[in-house]
Structure 1
Amino acid sequence: MKSLVRYRPVTCKSALHPVRGLFPHHWDLNVYRGCQHGCKYCYALYSHKYLKQENDESDQINQTNQIDQINQTNQIDQINQIGRIEQINQTDSDKNESLAGNYYNHIYAKTNIVERLEKELSRPGRKPEVINLGGVSDSYQQAEAEYALMPDILKLMIKYKNPVNISTKSALILRDFDLFDELSKVSYVNIAATVTTTDESLRKIIEPDCSASAKRFDFLEKFKKTDATVGVHVMPVMPLISDSLENLEPIFSRTREIGADYIIAAPLFLRGQTRKSYFEFVKNDFPHLYDPMRILYKTGHLNKEYKTGIYEKINSLSEKYNLSDDYRKSMNLKLKKVWRDRDAETPQEKKPKQLTLSQFGATPF
């Protein structure tokens, strides 16, 4: 039986968090903690274990407005979810959950994030550095239909002409088409969608609560009418499950059809809690692949020769469909204009050296 999703409002002390490493953005903004999409390869499962500590130190759960409380017993909870009362029975897995709850089923909405973001963006001398909208959890997951926090966030980005990246698997992003369109005219905007397969039967297994892959291509095609850079992320490519040419080629073909600016692809990387969860998924849904998969990842990393074979397919398809993997080209051009415009408004300030993208490697956002 599918677990009932619980939404819980929280307040945050900071909207933006600095990003370390070779990424094409300096800040990450996550509207939600947890993600309802339920992707079997999700790398962010670890993040909920820090939530209690973060709540103690910086995030204060709004107890009076909680939709529900996590029960550690086997009793029946009554919760109000999206305007209706439902009864649920806790499962055995619920009993073992920490206070932070399950990443897929306990979604925390940062209800004061717009106010915090305004304060941070309005600080004197702040530079227009790229903000990644949802590096840990999807900004347009189902909870966004309930809380509608993104429109006001985008209005602030427009107000401060702040460049943004966003990658989503949800067609809900089209609700805010006009805001992204407006932002793309005054700053750099990159809109991407992760697509791992065009086979709906497979998609429903590995990404059960995401928009259909066809709908993701559809919204990318619509965003091509704006000034935003549009891309496709084929990440992860799952060995033995989604790495065949029969699975990959339709993705590259459709990417070419919609006129996307780039496509980037990379094989599955397993570590920590994701590794354990993913192998459990394979054992349950693809039992015949369990042992071969364990062999491929026996060192903790994907077998080197197998990984090389995946990249050979990716490179071959990129060449066949004349697709670029350079997501930095348009970023460089558009960010230079952002800086130039900002310098024109504040000529006494020098162009921020830390924003030159020649520093960045090929690590995708």
Structure 2
Amino acid sequence: MKTRGTALNPENRFQPIVTDRQSDDGWYQDPTDETCPDSVVTEVMEERARSIISRNRSPDVPFDQSINPYRGCEHACIYCFARPSHAYWDMSPGLDFETRLIAKPNAAEQLRKELDKPGYRVSPIALGMNTDAYQPVEKQREITRGILKVLAEYRHPVTIITKGALILRDLDLLSELAGQGLCSVSVSLTTLDNTLKRQMEPRAAAPATRLKIIRELNAAGIPTGIILGPVIPFINDHEIEAILEAAAGAGAGRASWIMLRLPLELDELFQDWLQRHFPQRAEHVMARIRDLRGGKSYESRWGERMTGTGPYADLVRQRFNRKARSLGLGRHEAEPLRTDLFRKPGGEQIPLF
């Protein structure tokens, strides 16, 4: 599939009926046959969100609440850990995840309602943690921008992770928030190789564009770092030092890393991708991944799922830490985002009545 991460569309694990697709009888092999397209257009459905802030209790991630303006992601990253979540909506974690998106047009309205609740307690909201808040569909929908407007109005802290250049459209709002100590951004930087980027993240911004994002965010006074991830054995692990050097040169102030994760249906999708793009090293890659996960493709235990265990995980950690230290890339924020500025617009007048 042109500009798509996968051509597979495996049944999700909640479907009671499964179709056997193991046998290839030769159908739809004629490239002139219109019933066998080489690409699929993106379909966007709408959902009226009844709640918009998700709470998180995992000790592996540095936030306890988040907002996802979209379900599914057109960036089509083959390694995306969020792919299996599409099964909850009776869609496939494969091609459906990339082409059948769900938008939440009332996200800003619902956010305002939740922030206005008497018992609401302020802590930074992580924006777009499951799927990218700045994927291509945001250009027309502007749901993420609407959310940022509400957060700026309420003086609410927010963190963002993205690999989308569209974030530069919102420099005005991000600068306003950052000027009050209310915003930080992390750019996902996985490779500096354009060919690998096209294979692995077909519709995401190019590596040079992501470095430009870092430069422009930094120039606008917005604390910016990178997430080097996922690290994939024998695919991009040789780039660790080069990626950190490029990020530091662009003005990034911090860096962290994540090892490849293959939960549920993602295992099948990633192995198919390996066989298509790196058939000669596919078994070698998977053998190392299993070494990281106690002989399995994935281990979901907290404290292990983000980095893996064993000699290879230790080596990656040592390489990353040594290079990051030499470049002055701190692992965490220099200062935590402020929560003391939070206000409910109009609330200042309540005591007068």
Choose the corresponding residue for 1:307, options 293, 313, 317: 313
Please show how residues 153-164 of structure 1 align to structure 2 within 5 Å.
Answer: 153-164=147-158
Please show how residues 262-341 of structure 1 align to structure 2 within 5 Å.
Answer: 262-298=254-290, 299-300=295-296, 301=298, 304-327=310-333, 329-331=334-336, 334-335=337-338, 338-339=339-340, 341=341
Deviation at 1:125, TM superposition (A): 4.4
Aligned: 1:233 with 2:238: no
SS of corresponding position for 1:310: helix
Distance 1:294 1:254 in 2: 28
Choose the corresponding residue for 1:184, options 170, 178, 199: 178
What are the superposed Cα offsets for residues 14-55 of structure 1, whole Å, 9 maximum, x if unpaired? 111111122332211010000000111110011111125xxx
SS of corresponding position for 1:330: coil
Deviation at 1:303, TM superposition (A): 6.6
Distance 2:279 2:252 in 1: 36
Deviation at 1:294, TM superposition (A): 2.4
Distance 2:92 2:289 in 1: 29
Task: Return the TM-score normalized by structure 2.
Answer: 0.78
SS of corresponding position for 1:288: coil
Greater per-residue strand proportion: 1
Partner letter of residue 324 of structure 1? G
* Partner in structure 1 of residue 88 of structure 2: 50
Distance 2:273 2:246 in 1: 28
Distance 1:98 1:254 in 2: 36
Please show how residues 210-249 of structure 1 align to structure 2 within 5 Å.
Answer: 210-244=204-238, 247-249=239-241
Deviation at 1:99, TM superposition (A): 11
Distance 2:209 2:287 in 1: 35
SS of corresponding position for 1:140: coil
Partner letter of residue 278 of structure 1? F
SS of corresponding position for 2:98: coil
Partner letter of residue 290 of structure 1? A
Please show how residues 9-20 of structure 1 align to structure 2 within 5 Å.
Answer: 9-20=46-57
Partner letter of residue 330 of structure 1? E
Q: 1:39 to 1:26 in 2, by over 3 A?
A: same
SS of corresponding position for 1:265: strand
Aligned: 1:38 with 2:76: yes
Deviation at 1:266, TM superposition (A): 2.6
Which shows bigger deviation, 168-177 or 252-261?
252-261
Task: Return the TM-score normalized by structure 1.
Answer: 0.75
Deviation at 1:178, TM superposition (A): 0.3
Greater per-residue helix proportion: 1
Runs of 4+ displaced beyond 6 Å: none
Which shows bigger deviation, 233-242 or 269-278?
269-278
The aligned length equals 294
Please show how residues 244-263 of structure 1 align to structure 2 within 5 Å.
Answer: 244=238, 247-263=239-255
Distance 1:315 1:213 in 2: 22
* Partner in structure 1 of residue 15 of structure 2: none
Distance 1:144 1:254 in 2: 27
Aligned: 1:25 with 2:63: yes
Please show how residues 136-215 of structure 1 align to structure 2 within 5 Å.
Answer: 136-215=130-209
What are the superposed Cα offsets for residues 134-188 of structure 1, whole Å, 9 maximum, x if unpaired? 1111001011012111222111001111111111111011111101111112342
Deviation at 1:257, TM superposition (A): 1.3
Distance 2:93 2:272 in 1: 23
Percent identical among aligned pairs is: 27
- Structure 1: segments with no counterpart, 5+ residues: 53-96, 347-365
Partner letter of residue 12 of structure 1? A
Partner letter of residue 171 of structure 1? A
CA contact (8 A) 2:42 2:99 kept: yes
